[in-house]
Amino acid sequence: MNETVTIDTARGAVAGRFDEAPGAVAAVLLVGGADGGFDGPAEALYPTLAADLVACGVSALRLDFRLHRFPNDVEEGVRDALAGLHWLEQRGYARVALVGHSFGGAVVIEAGVRAANVAGVATLATQTAGAERVAELAPRPLLLIHGAADIRLPPACSVMLHRMAGEPRELVLIEGATHSLRQAREQVRARLLEWVCAVLAPR
């Protein structure tokens, strides 16, 4: 079931789309880039991934940032992500994986550092600004996916964060893929689904 949700915060309302898997106890929170939206990169990857997750028994919450601007404010984005995590926690989701693209990559890294219910973090073509505390995610797993042909945020961004991060960590560089990762949509979709299912597997 796809549900439109509004999460009220002291700084304004955060809009979301919630795909619920019946009986699920784990969830994924997904955020896009600085321009927000619910679709994510790679030609609307997020709605497709949400449907994949529900079929595997994992719920998905896609969030739209309150602020849409360039450059955007990582701290404000983190507040939105934390509001989404709290919303999920109130509904019984004790374990949540985070996925973020571009600006959203830094957002989910910092939100993961701050939130105890985050089981792992995955980034897609992430920026480095705002992600300086990436090492503090450990021992929770980190997956960094980046297009080798990205000229907006070069793959060196993910390479640097991978070097800074603790274990377990994984770096995936995709030849021929640009910032949107559209050239590798199905590869990214499959890798994210595999990673999420492993991270959120019952302990």
Q: Are 72 and 39 in contact (CB under 8 A)?
A: no
Q: Tell me if residue 82 falls in helix, strand or coil.
A: helix
Mean pLDDT of 64-68: 93
pLDDT digits (tens, 9 = 90+) for 3-22: 999 999 988 999 999 999 99
Instruction: Give residue for tokens 């529900």.
Output: 54
Q: What is the pLDDT of residue 115?
A: 98
The predicted pLDDT at position 15 comes to: 97
* Position 68 pLDDT exceeds 90: no
Q: How far apart are CA 169 and CA 109, in angstroms?
A: 13
pLDDT at 57 over 90: yes
pLDDT band at 50 (very low <50, low <70, confident <90, very high): very high
pLDDT above 70 (res 203): no
CATH number at residue 55: 3.40.50.1820
- pLDDT per residue over 93-113, tens digit each? 999 999 999 999 999 999 999
The mean pLDDT of the chain is 96
Instruction: Count structural domains, the chain.
Output: 1
Q: Domain containing 99: what range?
A: 2-199
**What is the reported pLDDT for 156?**
98
Q: Which two tokens stand for residue 105?
A: 């990559």
C-beta of residue 125 within 8 angstroms of C-beta of residue 101: yes
